[in-house]
Amino acid sequence: MLISFKSKSSPEVLMYQEHAERILRLLHKSPQRGVITAAEAAKALSLLEQEVAFTKEHPKQDVEHDIHTPEQEEGESAEHAALQRVSFSARAFPLLEMLRSASQQNEYIMWGV
């Protein structure tokens, strides 16, 4: 299932629910429906930036894999499979940009509505 994040400050961001849940848990928000108010945007941005920095410092702990493709396809080397992995920071980037924009423009972000 996809989660669609919407804000007047930036284009819509779509994420698989499984990937968005990690971010929303970090922000103490429900994946079904919610809002990050303009007042909350700066704090949410800070929390998400900290998590991105942590996963970059500890890449072995960042074991998020794309759930829609196998970790290693038949005939594929382990090295190639590891290179194809999408990091948490790459998955979080569009929402980070949306949070930055929402914070600067004093807008909110909604999903599930």
Per-residue pLDDT tens digits for 11-55: 999 999 989 999 999 999 999 999 999 999 999 999 999 999 998
Greater confidence (15 vs 62) lies with: 15
- pLDDT band for position 8 (50/70/90)? very high
Whether residue 6 contacts residue 12, with contact meaning beta carbons closer than 8 Å, is answered with: yes
DSSP string, 10-54: EEEEEEEHHHHHHHHHHTT--SSSEEE-HHHHHHHHHHHHHHHHH
Instruction: Say which residue, 56 or 40, is predicted with more confidence.
Output: 40
CA distance 69 to 82: 13
Tokens 């998590």 belong to: 51
Check pLDDT > 50 for residue 78.
yes
Instruction: Give the pLDDT confidence score for residue 87 in this predicted structure.
Output: 84
CA distances from 45 to 82, 85, 108 (A): 28, 24, 12
Contact (CB, 8 A) for 104 and 79:
no
pLDDT of residue 77: 72
The helix/strand/coil state of 11 is strand
- 38: β partners: none
63-67, 72-76, 105-109: which has the highest mean pLDDT? 105-109
What mean pLDDT, rounded, does the chain reach? Answer: 86
Residue 64's CB: how many other CB atoms inside 10 A? 18
Q: Model's pTM, two decimal places?
A: 0.80
